[in-house]
Chains A and B, each alone.
Chain A
Amino acid sequence: MTTAVRLRGVEKHFPHVHALRGIDLDIEQGEFFALLGPNGAGKTTLISILAGLTRATKGVVEIMGFDVTRQYREARRALGVVPQELVYDPFFTVRETLRLQSGYFGLRRNDAWIDELLDNLGLADKADTYTRRLSGGMKRRVLVAQALVHKPPVIVLDEPTAGVDVELRQSLWAFIRRFNREGHTIVLTTHYLEEAEALCQRVAMLKEGRIVALDRTENLLRAGAERHLLLELDPPELPAFLQSRLKGREGQHFVLDLPDYGDLEAILANLRAAGIAIRGMSLAQADLEEVFLKIMHGGAS
């Protein structure tokens, strides 16, 4: 099967910035993929290169097997982009905007699909309103609809939920998930790491123009994360056999290293044998945010 997004040795030099320093990446069809990284890591530059808004200084960039510069018509037809900025054309209503966007992709009669997009994005009653009169969240939905008018196999969302209320985030993701289930490839950048954790099967972390981590989400969580066991004991003293695991204290709780869940059984048995009662216990698993911070501060993995 054709790779949805293929990058080989992609570099981008701006006059004063070396934004991308050699990116190799394959995103397969049907994936829900996240690009994470701090501001200035190169996420938006990378997305702009996919979209043809920026030209790579070096390297190969393909969307569904089409080179973004040599076969730009096919590549752009295969791609839908939701830009980060809340942009709109003040001259047109929502429906006009979507009709024009369909037309740019050569779709003359697209009203049935436009209506479906409007319904699903909660914009049906705003169809004849000028986009400039809509709230920020509504404008964001219009941008999502615009990116989807031509039903692109690859959909790229550049921080689509920045500054968007919780309710919209939920409905937006439900809608994007539906596309993903129908086989569309989704690539997103986000600052909300819990979103990437909840939605994405695979994650690439960018730092200073390089990919510093690339793996399935659960592998990253397992590998990068420390798991902790929190125990409140009676009497409140840590027995000698657990001292080597001690990481610190949180209130009444001892925080213990627990790299392997299999150890839990033995720890509990030993405590019982030592006559120590357990008054409180919880397991803390690192989230993507912790992995992210660890990788970003720890240098390349």
Chain B
Amino acid sequence: MSGGFRTLLYKEILRFWKVLVQTVGAPVLTALLYLLVFSHVLSEHVQVYPGVRYTAFLMPGLIMMSILQNAFANSSSSLIQSKITGNIVFVLLPPLSYLEFFLAYLIAALVRGFAVGVGVLLVGLFFADIEMRYPLWILAFALASGAVFACIGILAGIWANQFDNLAAVQNFIIMPLTFLSGVFFSIHSLSPFWQSVTHLNPVFYMIDGFRYGFFGQGDVDPWLGLAVVTPFVLLLSGLTLVMLKSGYKLRH
């Protein structure tokens, strides 16, 4: 890794750090609103795991949703802004490899996702006792899942020609996948049909495995979850690297 890589990573982190209220504060507030509303409305009605209060159950889902959405938002919005304002040339002219370029955007997106995730966790501690039984599972699923959405963000940011394109990805792909993944409920409360549909959603395994790390129980085995999520990490990283190497929409 060249010195240029460290600077690009630093710049990508500094970029969202400078507007922390928007980039971390706002998503933490959003998660807090979900927490307040859903725990109030649903705590009496939703059957989750024995011995786990609904508010506590909800927390890992909200944290993971925040990590995923913000990892996506960081890489995609940084790239589309740089492309639209034209300052993307500042990082295309220096001697950076496509691998360095990829890692800088990936890691910065993970840092942003984790910053929001930790923020949501800290706020959540006021509302529920949250145990963290298997920190390694928590970390593994946070990293793998965050990386998947960081990659989607890089791909979308490079592909998109305008903010509308990104909003479409956000509204028609990211939001449905996260909302229908079991953030707010255990899929055991679903009909068999919707249970099998949810099993096709990779985000379900991300959230379920992450939640397993907190409570030691989940809808599926965490190893199965990891076996589903890991290929997505490899596939999307590979796809992103191929795209960056080809210079698609960056080096015409």
Residue B45, interface by CB 8 Å: no
A85: which B residues are within 8 A, CB to CB?
86
**CB contact list, B60-105 vs A, under 8 A:** 82, 85-87, 89-97
- Identify the closest chain B residue to A97 (Cβ): B90
- Known contacts being A77-B95, A81-B93, A91-B15, is A104 close to B8, with CB within 8 Å? yes
Q: Which of B82, B90, B94, B247 contacts A55 (CB 8 A)?
A: B247
| Chain A residue with the shortest CB-CB distance to B7 | A103
- Docked Cα-Cα span, A53 to B7, in Å, equals 20
Contact of B3 among A14, A48, A51, A107 (CB under 8 A): A107
Q: Nearest chain B CB to A101's CB is how many angstroms away? A: 6
Q: What's the nearest-Cβ distance from chain B to residue A120, in Å?
A: 21
A97 to B14, CA, bound (A): 12
**Once the chains bind, are B87 and A100 in contact (CB under 8 Å)?**
no
Q: Do residues A89 and B4 form an inter-chain contact, with CB atoms below 8 A?
A: no
- B22 to nearest A CB, angstroms? 12
Number of A-B contacts (CB under 8 A): 84
A-facing residues in B36-53 (Cβ within 8 Å)? none
* A53–B95 CB distance below 8 A: no
Provide the bound-state CA to CA distance between A105 and B96, in Å: 8
B199 within 8 A of A: no
B100 nearest CB across to chain A (Å): 10
**CB neighbors of A among B182-198 (8 A):** none
The answer to whether A30 has its CB under 8 Å from any CB of chain B is no
| Cβ B251 vs Cβ A53 within 8 A | yes
Report 26 cross-chain contacts, Cβ distance below 8 Å, ordered by A residue.
A52-B92, A52-B93, A52-B251, A53-B251, A53-B252, A55-B251, A73-B2, A76-B93, A76-B95, A83-B86, A85-B86, A87-B87, A88-B87, A89-B82, A89-B85, A91-B15, A92-B14, A100-B7, A100-B10, A103-B3, A103-B7, A103-B10, A103-B11, A104-B91, A104-B96, A146-B90
Query: B-side interface residues toward A, CB under 8 Å?
Result: 2-4, 6-8, 10-11, 14-15, 18-19, 82, 85-87, 89-97, 247, 251-252
